[in-house]
Chains A and B, each alone.
Chain A
Amino acid sequence: MRFLAHRLLLFVAALFGVSVLVFVALRILPGDVAAVMAGTAATPDRIAALRTQFGLDRPLITQYLDWVGGLLHGDLGTSALTGRAVVAQVGQRASLTFPLIILSLFIALLIGLPLGCASVLANGRRMRGFLHVLAIVGGAVPALWSGLLLILLFSRGTGLIGIFPSQGFPSEGWHNPGRALSSLVLPAVATGIVAGAGIMRYTRAAVGDVMDGGAIDMAMACGMTRTQAVLRVGLRLATPQLVSVAGLTFAQMITGVMVVESLFALPGLGALLIGDVGNRDLIAVQSELFLLAAFFLLLGLVIDLIHRALDPRLKAADATGTDAGDGTTGSAASKGGE
């Protein structure tokens, strides 16, 4: 309970910190925000109009409080370009991006977990070496390139074996689930392969650590084969670490996801954000960036809580108020899969 309260407090503090950072970076550092938004060719009248429209002539502190007050009520402001509510735009785009990220993560786990276990179990030097190199090469491929290669191989029109569409998202969206899903396959594989190589490495490291611990020998002494012991005990003991890794992979996959969204012409969050940054629609960018950052902070919070729940030793540490296992949380995790 102590840990939960502590972690929640931290989350709220981090949200506040991020909101200040975003505000400083987008409202204060660029100088005259209205002039930036209006562009170089704008007339002074246009700039003045923007300034009053978005209240940019008020004191900064008022602007900040106004913005945060809006956020608390779910009002993220309106886009200067389209005049639509930012929250509606974000919601619509997220219905593409989140399935894409989740599908990518699913593919990454599907590739990474079995291959990671295989590299722990592999007996021959040659096999281990091969799996090791495979993980490194897989993780070294830029998402843009894996996307391009997939288009060359599997896209309708350009590819050698034209199976999947490579451009766009059906205009009717998820009302046509089959088409919607098939248009996400290649992008998800493009990012999933790269992230999968990362998961494979962490699985090998985490399960390998457990192998040295003695619990595997114990499980084998009770009558498991080596393979059974690794899959049933090793993987379970590595799970808390792997959850942390999967969470960070999820967060780091976002660069790759934005890249493939653009490459495959998918109207997702990445495209929205990049477009708004390019158009200098600072009001929209501000809320979008904050929302995404808040989402990832929340993700970090959830992962930490799951990590705790999965390890009875950490739960016990909470009960006594000590902070034993900290620092092991996600220690195997690293930023990867850009």
Chain B
Amino acid sequence: MSVEIRGLNVTIGGHAGSARGGSGRDGSGRDGSGNAVVRDVDLTVGDGERVGLIGSSGSGKSMIAKSMLGLLPRGARATGSIDLGGTEVIGASDRTLADLRGRYVGVVFQNPGTSLNPVSTVAKQIELPLRLHYDLTASERRDRVMAMLDKVGLTADMAGKYPHELSGGQQQRVGIATALITSPKLIVADEPTTALDSIIQRQIVDLLVSLVDDAGASMLFITHDFSVLARATTRCYVIDDGRVAEEGATADLLASPGTPVARELVGSARRLTLSAVGSPAVSSTVSSDRGGAR
């Protein structure tokens, strides 16, 4: 599925205390007030393409992903145009967006420890998109869940477990299985590896990439870490202060970052790797990360 974003702006409106009600009158209904977190962003993802969004935290990259999915927090407003495989997302109804999510668009979140439903078993979690979008019998769902568990490298006995009984890496495998169970045409991965340690990071990225490629889906991969980005994407956008600072093939950007922001991000990816390798005490844990930021 292709993504076409044109002139996207996201503002987080008014004041933080608005949820409590009864706060002052000033600044409430004024248009254009509030904090612009995404400014005039153009972005495309082609069919079957894996594209990265990279930027430091607070650069607005997550807000771009959230506005694609209709998951913006209350008080945030998006304008412009986002076309997901022919459907305009901005201004679409909650129902339309819900029909897209989990069916044509799968989402992998940053922190599976908090995003997986703590009172659902693994099997119930993974089959949720199937339940919501398809009319299958319980045994059909069960078969698909079992097949999916196998694909993401989890054993069948995990099906009955609760998220808190799993390790961080296993939890993220459940997250990936949930995102992919309906064979969606687009995967949005929002910092899927940030909460994991580096060996697991690599395994998860490789798993995600192979599953996405097998399914012929597109992927938008969001991260602040070039070393992960290089494994996951072929092309990427560097986001800074809500704007696209630079775009191009990931390999080219790594080799010769053009803007100060990109240089900073590439530099920090290198430094992290180099300093880690240089210190013998921790070298064992990062040795597997060598290839990351070559």
Contact = CB atoms under 8 A, between A and B. Distances in A.
Q: Do A and B bind each other?
A: yes
Contacts of A312: 118-119, 162, 164
Interface in B91-150: 94-95, 97-99, 101-103, 106-107, 109, 111, 114-119, 128-129, 132-133
Nearest to A215: B117
A125 B118 contact: no
A136 to B, nearest CB: 9
Contacts of B19: 128
A95 interface: no
A218 B117 contact: yes
Contacts, number: 90
A218 to B, nearest CB: 4
Contacts of B210: none
A218 B101 CA distance: 10
B71 interface: yes
Contacts of B109: 214, 217-218, 221
B115 A133 contact: no
A313 interface: yes
Given A132-B22, A215-B115, A228-B98, A223 B164 contact: no
A312 B97 CA distance: 31
A311 interface: yes
Looking at chain A, what size class is its interface with the partner chain? 20 to 34
A221 B133 contact: no
Nearest to B129: A222
Interface of B: 18-22, 28, 69-71, 74, 94-95, 97-99, 101-103, 106-107, 109, 111, 114-119, 128-129, 132-133, 162, 164-165, 178-179
14 contacts: A125-B21, A125-B28, A128-B21, A129-B22, A214-B111, A215-B118, A217-B109, A218-B115, A218-B117, A223-B129, A225-B95, A225-B98, A237-B119, A311-B119
Closest A-B pairs by Cβ, 3 of them: A223-B102, A129-B21, A214-B115
Given A222-B128, A312-B162, 8 more contacts: A132-B20, A133-B21, A220-B69, A225-B95, A228-B98, A310-B119, A312-B119, A316-B164
